[in-house]
Chain A
Amino acid sequence: MRIDFECSGGYANINLVYHAKTDDLPTEIAKEFLHLVESSGFFDLQQSDVKPTDAGPPDVFFYHLSLQEGDRWKSLSFNDVTAPGPLRPVLEILQKLAWEQVRKGNHYND
């Protein structure tokens, strides 16, 4: 599965970007990620379900997540107040992976 993830904004105005393929991740992490994606129902969500209604509110994180596997592809943009609860564990693991990648020297807003 191809992953394209961005988390931006917030009080600290971070700009976290993460691109990866699950085939390149450690087996256990890839397995956990795929399980979380299936549990979240991501591919059944519609942009209208999660679309922010406004440019704000102030200091929330904005997320952009695209996942592609075979002929399944979905790209969604949402923020902290419109993010569906089941998607939260996916966001948590992606942010963790993204910060680890930053620490390894891949600058986070490249």
Chain B
Amino acid sequence: MNSRYIKREIMPVHECRCTFIPPFILEHMAREGIEEARLTIQQSKISRENRDKRPEELMNKLAGVISVGRAYRQVYDSQNTYDLQKKLERSEGDPAIPDQVVNNVYDYVGNVHDYYKQKLGRNSIDNNGMDFIINVHFGKKYNNAFWDGEQMTFGDGDGKIFVNFTKSLDVIAHEITHGVTQYEANFVYKGQSGALHEHFSDVFGSAITQYVNKQKAEEADWLVGDEIMGPELYGEALRSMKEPGTAYDNPILGKDPQPAHMKDYYTGSGDNYGVHINSGIPNKAFYLAAMDIGTDKAARIWYNALCGPRLFQTANFNDAFKAIVEAARILVKDNKVPLGSTQKVRAAFKAVGLPN
């Protein structure tokens, strides 16, 4: 059941679906390469998207008028409460204000939007100019940032373990990419599909950071979250795409649990059955591919796979492997990535034990 109330209520990212053929049967058929099943999944996805639109949006679409959003940034200050969209501090085009947290997130969101638009041709989170709604100073010493289905929210950190979560471009790009994923494959946030949700966010967190910093793959540190570590953990990071499992090891956070290969796959129930843990495996594959063909080209392949018809809500790592390799093949055919990229992507996945 879905319910809405002003400001605090969040629409679940997965709506109720009623189908005659159970989704798991269609997905199994798609995995077996039955093209009709794959097309059915894609067409059903489009139908549900249209069903969820407001009537006037559908009427406009039928009339040939497609309303496109403005991709405006709106930065709200939660004022250390748990309210969202509490006090609008800076809208699109407004000058900088004394609060540097607001200014940082405004600039970084602009960087992310520019990357998606200029490098990948994507108009904002929904590819239709959706505004960027951002909440800062959420809660009291809140050690986190999240995407709730409609907007991003960032805490200030406790100043000891973590500093302000808006300090890092890769955090902001990570959360925005959760939104992009929601509008594309919309992975279920659990198990391998959930790990793919996290994986794509780390991919674009890293790719966008490298792009803005004008770094090549071999110059980047491939660390996630290193810029938000507080004084007690300065020098550590939260994840390493280059060497999953080595980002941190200290008495406060423990040891980085990420595996770098399927042989070390986490099978426990913690972390929604390992969404932030097993993401290390495809993260390593992306790193290897990027080192071979360049981060920009690898990111283009991964993006096309995410937006293509071969990834769906319950996709697993093998499905992602197939989708990404196929995306590479088509981009090679279209002269968008160099010849040999398909094989290099395949080799990157083989190095982490995929497919299995």
Of A10, A103, A109, which contacts B146 at CB under 8 A? A10
Please pick, from A12, A57, A61, the residue contacting B189 in the complex, using a CB distance under 8 A.
A57
* B238 and A59 contacting across the interface, CB-CB below 8 Å: no
A55, B198: Cα distance in complex, Å: 13
A53 in complex: contacting residue of B12, B144, B158, B272, CB < 8 Å: B12
- CB contacts under 8 Å to A, within B131-162, are 139-141, 143-149, 158, 160-162
Contacting pair B190 A85 (CB below 8 A)? no
**A62 to B271 alpha-carbon distance, docked (Å):** 9
* B-side interface mostly: loop
B254: Cβ under 8 A from any A Cβ? yes
Q: A-B pairs with CB below 8 Å: how many?
A: 108
Q: Known contacts A55-B188, A85-B82; is A107 also within 8 Å of B251 by CB?
A: yes
Q: Let me know if B253 is at the binding interface, CB within 8 A.
A: yes
A99 touches B161 (CB 8 A): yes
Rounded to whole Å, the gap between the CB of B75 and the closest CB of chain A is 19
* B251 with A105: CB separation less than 8 A: yes
Q: What's the Cα separation between A57 and B144 when bound, in Å? A: 13
Q: Is the CB of A109 within 8 A of B188?
A: no
Residues of chain A from 53 to 109 with CB closer than 8 A to chain B in the complex: 53-62, 80-81, 83, 85, 88, 92, 95-96, 99, 102-103, 105, 107-109
Q: How far is the CA of A108 from the CA of B263 in the complex (A)?
A: 26
CA distance A63 to B251 in the complex (A): 22
Quick one: closest A residue to B254, CB to CB? Answer: A109
Task: Flag if B252 contacts A102 (CB, 8 Å).
Answer: yes
Set of chain A residues within 8 Å of B251, measured between Cβ atoms:
102, 105, 107
Please state if B270 and A54 are interface contacts (CB–CB under 8 Å): no
Partner of A57, one of B82, B149, B198: B149
Selected contact of A59 from candidates B140, B141, B175, CB within 8 Å = B175
Given contact pairs A53-B12, A92-B140, enumerate 8 new A-B contacts (beta carbons under 8 Å).
A9-B271, A11-B238, A15-B271, A58-B175, A58-B197, A80-B146, A81-B10, A108-B252
Binding site for A on B (CB under 8 A): 1-2, 8, 10, 12-14, 82, 139-141, 143-149, 158, 160-162, 165, 171, 174-175, 178, 188-190, 194, 197-198, 201, 225, 238, 251-254, 270-272, 276-277
12 A-B contacts (beta carbon < 8 Å)? A11-B144, A11-B225, A15-B254, A55-B188, A57-B10, A57-B189, A58-B198, A59-B144, A80-B146, A88-B139, A103-B252, A108-B253
